[in-house]
Structure 1
Amino acid sequence: MGFFIEMLLKLLFLFSIIPFLLSEKLQKKYDMRINPQVEYTIFSGPQKISRIEEDFIDETSGMVVSQKYPGHIFVHNDSDGAAEIYALDTLGNYLGSIRLDGVRNRDWEDLAIGPGPDAGESYLYIGDIGDNFSRYSELIIYRIPEPEALDPEEKLLVVPEKIVLKYPDGSKDAETMFIDPLTGHLYVLTKRDASNTLYKAAAPDLVDGNKVTLERVMDMPITLSVGGDISADGRQILIKNYWVVYYWNREPGESLEETLKQQPKLLPYEPEPQGEAIAFTPSGQAYFTLSEKKLRVEPVLYRYEKVLTPE
């Protein structure tokens, strides 16, 4: 019975990626813009950087670009993977890994970078926020300072801070988390609602060992959100689902909530069978995407360059 269930799931997955594969082929062959609302005047179409060669980086669900070393990208795998963060360079070459001591990867779904306890220091936030069956009462956020240089031959072992979050209105699945660099607030965006819901944990509450009840902020006209990021200057916001990358430009003096209430623009996006990871470069002049490995579809690192500063 297990064999037949597995085969059925694989067939369902094959059918689900047909639209992605067709749209990719049509776009490349006929230079068609499948979605006429996509803005090609802010960021360019994708540049294929490289296929990720390391077999152990196969279910990437979170990604950020280092603020300490702008040429480094940090990624992690999905549920039940190793409790490790992997470092790549911006050409996709493996640089080393960070092992979180005493931690289990229950369902890590996103990675964020931003301020933390020490002023001037950048921190990595690992979001154990996935919950496919809405069975967990708590979300767990692990936080570590950005590491020094890594050795590809040796794992760096670190003991993270641990912050426990709870929804005010019951368990939910989420795959999107980001830190507002202007306030230090942490945001979680749910996935499976018809309109995904944004929640917030205020910066002063993000203390090691704390248990924090999230504040419900707003419902958004997005569904199946799987990743997001905010540029290091706080001026640009990205949220993606499996088909679309949404983009907001934040005006000086606006709160993040005020910005996200506005109509987003749609940015170029290379169709990926299981694309869940997206991240700005520290300058905000480019963003990367990276997919999970599914069946025979290998993960590819894509880069999108900025071509216009939005008004």
Structure 2
Amino acid sequence: MSFFIEMLLKLFFLLSIIPFLLSEKLQKKYDMKINAQIEYTLFSGPKKVALVGEKFIEETSGMVVSRKNPSWIYVHNDSGGEPELYIIDTLGTYLGTLKIEGVNNRDWEDLAMGPGPIEGENYLYIGDIGDNFGRAEELIIYRIQEPDQLESEMSAKPEIIKLKYPDGPKDSETLLVDPISGDLFVLTKRESKNTLYKAAKDLLLDGNSVDLEKVLQLPITLSVGGDISADGSQVLIKNYWVIYYWTRKEGETLEETLSGKAVLLPYEPEPQGEAIAFEPEGETYFTLSEKKLRINPVLYRYDKTTDGD
């Protein structure tokens, strides 16, 4: 029995490093092809800000920068983690914990910031949208108002909004909330062309169960995170080795913007990089990986260049 357990542990270890090996191999194999297309005049980077060494921030999956205090970054772990948001600053220093009351972390995969029930207020949207085996009948969105001030230990009772795909369960890791329309979007992960689904703002009510609308297929696979700048004019979506970037024209819907051609931005491949976030003005984006192979994740920063203004 001990031999069997040992073999299982070895198999689990090998499976756990596949994303890291895949991203490294693909990045090297297609280095000339990908880097030839990357637009380096828009954002520079990467800049290594800091190692994030706290033991409780090990499987970072979602990240968003505060709108009330742009020096705060909210992050969370994925499946099986505590139902908590952790707050670090833009230098990577841990500041505090925000506990989400009365819920579980089934498979939290992304975090977004956007409008909500009270006009002019900012809300955090936690996406319990992961589903590795395609079995979940519903996705769950937890929504809380962004805190006014920072404390070392905080808690909040969330609104709970349930979502359902029109065409069966899917695995998703990217959640977007449009700051202009207030609509919510979920982007799937596993297909060769990931699919964008939408829930209209008016349906995002506490206790509601919403049927998602299928709106667009993107020429992207393995999408693991995304964000929209606070003014809605810039959009980021990433997979394990590429960051896609769109600029939005005035009057365009988000789906119209994403149907256009993306630009590839600079990215430092990470052991399992799933988290990405704009700072509110859209002048900087950050990335952060899960901890893999005993390597503490690095907070990377990419700044808009003068040529990109």
Q: Same fold (TM over 0.5)?
A: yes
Inter-partner Cα distance in structure 2 for 1:32 and 1:263: 20
Q: How many residues align?
A: 305
Q: 1:118 to 1:65 in 2, by over 3 A?
A: same
Contact 1:24–1:270 at 8 Å: present in 2 too? Answer: no
Q: 1:252 & 1:181 partners in 2: Cα distance? A: 13
* Equivalent residue number for residue 246 of structure 2: 248
Q: What letter matches 1:145 in structure 2? A: Q
Q: TM-score, normalised by structure 2?
A: 0.94
For 2:264 and 2:189, locate their aligned partners in 1 and report how far apart those are by CA, in whole Å: 19
**Is 1:38 aligned to residue 35 of structure 2?**
no
Residue 194 (str. 1) matches residue 197 (str. 2) = no
Q: How far did 1:10 drift?
A: 1.9
**Aligned to 2:10, which of 2, 7, 11?**
7
Secondary structure at the counterpart of residue 276 of structure 1: strand
Paired residue secondary structure (2:108): coil
Alpha-carbon offset, residue 298 of structure 1: 1.2
Q: Which whole-Å deviations, capped at 9, do the CAs of 1:14-40 have from their partners, x for residues lacking one?
A: 4653465578899xxxx9896211110
Q: What secondary structure, in the 3-state scheme, does the structure 1 residue paired with 2:120 have?
A: coil
**Paired residue for 1:17, among 13, 16, 20?**
20
Secondary structure of 1:6's counterpart equals: helix
User: Aligned AA for 1:166?
Assistant: K
Check whether the contact 2:235–2:245 (CA below 8 A) recurs between aligned residues: yes
Matched residue type, 1:290: L
Structure 2 partner of 1:51:
51
Give the residue type in structure 1 aligned to 2:142.
Answer: Y
Structure 1 consecutive aligned stretches of length 4 or more whose deviation exceeds 3 Å: 12-16, 18-26, 31-34, 308-311
Residue deviations 1:38-88 (CA, integer Å, cap 9, x gap) = 110100020000000211000000000000111100000000100000111
Aligned to 1:136, the other structure's residue is in SS state coil
Cα distance, 1:157 vs structure 2 = 1.6
Residue 161 (structure 2) aligns with: 163
Hey, what does 1:130 align to over in structure 2? 130
> Partner residue of 2:120?
120
Could you tell me which amino acid in structure 1 is paired with residue 14 of structure 2?
Answer: L
CA 92–32 in structure 1, closer or farther in 2 if over 3 Å, else same: farther
- On the 8 A contact 1:23/1:34 being kept in 2, the answer is no
CA contact (8 A) 2:125 2:143 kept: yes
RMSD, aligned α-carbons: 2.0
Kindly provide the CA deviation profile for residues 257-289 of structure 1, in whole angstroms up to 9, marking residues without a partner as x.
111011100000011010000000001000000
* Structure 2 unmatched runs, 5+: none
Whole-Å separation in 1 of the counterparts to 2:27 and 2:71: 28
**Structure-1-length-normalised TM-score:** 0.93
Q: Secondary structure at the match of 1:109?
A: strand
Matched, 1:216 2:214: yes
